[in-house]
Structure 1
Amino acid sequence: MLNLRTGRPIHLKNQSKLPPKINEGEEDLPGLCRKNVWTFHWAIGSPAVLLLSGVGPPKHLKKFDIPIVVALKDVGRQMKDDPCISLMADSRPLNCPADTPQVAGISEDLKFIIEAGVLPISANSALFPVAAKLAYPESKGRLKLNSVDLRENPTVKFNYLSKEEDLKQCVEMGELLQRVVNSQAVTAFFGAEHKKDVLVGSEDLPGLCKKNVRTFYHYHDGCSVGSVIDSDYRVYRLWSKRIAGR
Structure 2
Amino acid sequence: MMNILHAISVFEVKVLFPLIRLVQIAIVSLFPSDNSLYPTQANVQDSQTFDFIIVGAGSAGCVLANRLTEVSDWNVLLIEAGDDPPRASIIPGLSIIVASALPDWNYYTVDDGYSSQGLKTKTIHNRKGKMLGGSSGTNFMYYVRGNKIDYDKWAQDGNEGWNWNNVSKYFKKSEKIKSESIMKSDAADLHGKDGFLSVTQPDWGDIPKDYLNAFKEQGHDILLDYNGHQQLGYGMSSFTSDEIARQNTAFSFLSPIKTRKNLHVLKNTLARKILLDTNKRAIGVEARLPGGQIIKLKAKNEVILSAGAINTPQLLMLSGIGPKNHLEEMKIDVVLDSPNVGQNMQDHALIPLIISGEKKFISILENIKPLGETTRFPMASFLGFVTLNKSQSYPDYQVTAVPTPTGALLPPLLCSDTFSIKDNSIIALADKTQTRGALFALVTHLHPKSRGRINLRSTNPEDSPLIYSGYFSNEDDLENFAKYVEDYITVINTTYFKQIEAQVIDLKIDECKGISFGSHEYWRCYVLNLASTQYHAVSTCRMGVEGQGVVDARLRVRGVTGLRVVDASVMPSLTSGNINAPVIMVAEKAGDMIKEDFGIKL
Structure-2 change in CA distance of 1:149 and 1:162 (3 Å): same
State the distance in 1 between where 2:528 and 2:335 align: 40
Moved more, 87-96 or 206-215: 87-96
Structure-2 change in CA distance of 1:85 and 1:121 (3 Å): closer
State the distance in 1 between where 2:380 and 2:475 align: 29
Unmatched tracts of structure 2, length 5 or more: 1-69, 74-261, 263-282, 285-298, 371-377, 388-393, 405-409, 414-432, 507-516, 570-602
3-state SS of paired residue (1:217): coil
State the distance in 1 between where 2:71 and 2:533 align: 43
The amino acid of 1:34's aligned partner reads: K
Structure-2 change in CA distance of 1:93 and 1:47 (3 Å): farther
State which of 383, 386, 395 in structure 2 corresponds to 1:104.
383
Aligned partners of 2:397 and 2:446 also within 8 Å: yes
Deviation at 1:181, TM superposition (A): 4.9
Indicate the residue corresponding to 1:230 in structure 2: 552
Identity of aligned pairs, percent? 24
Aligned partners of 1:233 and 1:244 also within 8 Å: yes
Aligned partners of 2:350 and 2:442 also within 8 Å: yes
CA offsets per residue over residues 101-160 of structure 1, 9 Å max, x none? 8442112522211012342558x9686431211112110111111122223211111211
Aligned partners of 1:93 and 1:127 also within 8 Å: no
Deviation at 1:243, TM superposition (A): 0.6
The amino acid of 1:107's aligned partner reads: V
Deviation at 1:66, TM superposition (A): 1.9
Deviation at 1:236, TM superposition (A): 0.7
Indicate the residue corresponding to 1:195 in structure 2: 503
State the distance in 2 between where 1:143 and 1:94 align: 49
Structure-2 change in CA distance of 1:102 and 1:196 (3 Å): closer
Higher strand proportion: 1
Aligned partners of 2:348 and 2:536 also within 8 Å: yes
State which of 518, 525, 533 in structure 2 corresponds to 1:215.
533
State which of 397, 401, 415 in structure 2 corresponds to 1:116.
401
Structure-2 change in CA distance of 1:232 and 1:62 (3 Å): same
Aligned partners of 2:543 and 2:553 also within 8 Å: yes
Q: Which has the higher contact order (CA 8 A, sep 6+)?
A: 1
State the distance in 1 between where 2:540 and 2:379 align: 29
State TM-score, norm by structure 1: 0.74
3-state SS of paired residue (2:443): strand
3-state SS of paired residue (1:50): helix
Aligned partners of 1:84 and 1:215 also within 8 Å: yes
Higher helix proportion: 2
Deviation at 1:68, TM superposition (A): 1.4
Indicate the residue corresponding to 1:173 in structure 2: 484
State which of 337, 341, 346 in structure 2 corresponds to 1:75.
341
State TM-score, norm by structure 2: 0.33
Unmatched tracts of structure 1, length 5 or more: 1-18, 23-28
Structure-2 change in CA distance of 1:225 and 1:100 (3 Å): farther
Structure-2 change in CA distance of 1:84 and 1:20 (3 Å): closer
The amino acid of 1:64's aligned partner reads: M
State the distance in 1 between where 2:524 and 2:395 align: 22
Q: How many residues align structurally?
A: 218
Indicate the residue corresponding to 1:240 in structure 2: 562
Deviation at 1:193, TM superposition (A): 4.9
Indicate the residue corresponding to 2:301 in structure 1: 35
**What is the aligned-residue RMSD (CA, Å)?**
3.4
Aligned partners of 1:76 and 1:222 also within 8 Å: yes
